[in-house]
Amino acid sequence: MADGILKVGTITTSSGSGTITIPSGVNLFGGGVGLKSTQQFTATGTYTKPSGISKIRVFCTGSGGSGGGGGTSDSDQGSGGGAGGTAIELLDATSITTETVTIGTGGASATGENNGNDGATSSFGSLCSATGGTGGIHGNAGKIKGGTGGIGSGGDLNLSGQGGAGGSDGGGNGENAGGAGGSSYYGGGGRGSSIDGNYAVAGTYGSGGGGGGGTGSGSPSGDGGDGFVYVEEYA
């Protein structure tokens, strides 16, 4: 600040006058200064920085765990899988040309009297990463906990994924509902299997899969959602 003038890049405000000059290329509605483009990865691949990019913001999300299996006993159920964590990092991209992007695969559906399968880690080179959530648990109603969420690492902000929910009993009808999967940075987990026979739902974008219900037919759990990497590119 000099002579009452505050300068941020090429934005200048005059104290007392309220005058603001906004140059072209500046987005005041969430995109930041000089947001030029984005890239997103739903499968493992290679990030290539476009020309003219000086900074990037990376959102790295691990994959979700699947729900626990429902079993063949009406008194059994599976809890929901945990969601993957998320790391968010703003990087100076002047020395970046390419980076390997690894997308964790969501935990596979579980059937019968089996626990769910864990999610896997997503990463953006060695710069940031996020672990996957753990699988849900198979057991008796009211006695099981959901899978735990993963966590981001290496970011300016490292977030934990939400844990999965335990299931609920059937209110005396002899069938137990599976628990819902945990929510990731991008949204809610898969619904658990219901007592009226609807199967559990898979997670998306790193969220956990729903748990199987104890319907006597061994309803399967939902898969965990695959991880996700999103990159904002700034001039």
- Tens of pLDDT along the chain (235 residues) come to 343 333 344 434 444 545 455 444 444 444 445 899 999 999 999 999 999 999 999 999 999 999 999 877 767 789 999 999 999 999 999 999 999 999 999 999 998 889 999 999 999 999 999 999 999 999 876 678 999 999 999 999 999 999 999 877 655 555 678 899 999 999 999 999 876 656 889 999 999 999 988 765 668 899 999 999 999 999 9
**What does the alpha-carbon distance between residue 54 and residue 93 come to, in Å, rounded to a whole number?**
5
| Token representation of residue 184 | 């990731």
Residues 130 and 235 in one domain: yes
Structural domain count of the chain: 2
Residues 22 and 84 in one domain: no
Provide the domain limits for residue 6. Answer: 1-26
Under a CB-based contact definition with an 8 Å cutoff, are residues 66 and 226 in contact? no
pLDDT of residue 14: 43
**What does the alpha-carbon distance between residue 84 and residue 107 come to, in Å, rounded to a whole number?**
11
pLDDT of residue 193: 86
Residue 167 burial class via C-beta count within 10 angstroms: exposed 0-12, middle 13-18, buried 19 and up: buried
Q: Which of 190, 159, 163, 192 is nearest to 175 (CA)?
A: 192
Residues 221 and 182 in one domain: yes
Residue found by looking up tokens 């059994």 in the block:
76
Under a CB-based contact definition with an 8 Å cutoff, are residues 214 and 144 in contact? no
pLDDT of residue 113: 86
Residues 124 and 57 in one domain: yes
Under a CB-based contact definition with an 8 Å cutoff, are residues 226 and 116 in contact? no
**Radius of gyration of the chain measured on its C-alpha atoms:** 22
**What does the alpha-carbon distance between residue 76 and residue 144 come to, in Å, rounded to a whole number?**
10
Residues 52 and 104 in one domain: yes
pLDDT of residue 2: 41
- The pTM of this model reads 0.82
Q: Which of 120, 112, 76 is nearest to 221 (CA)?
A: 112
**What does the alpha-carbon distance between residue 85 and residue 179 come to, in Å, rounded to a whole number?**
19
**What does the alpha-carbon distance between residue 62 and residue 79 come to, in Å, rounded to a whole number?**
19
Under a CB-based contact definition with an 8 Å cutoff, are residues 104 and 84 in contact? yes
Residues 38 and 18 in one domain: no
The three-class DSSP label of residue 160 is strand
* Residues, the chain: 235
pLDDT of residue 26: 47
Residues 14 and 38 in one domain: no
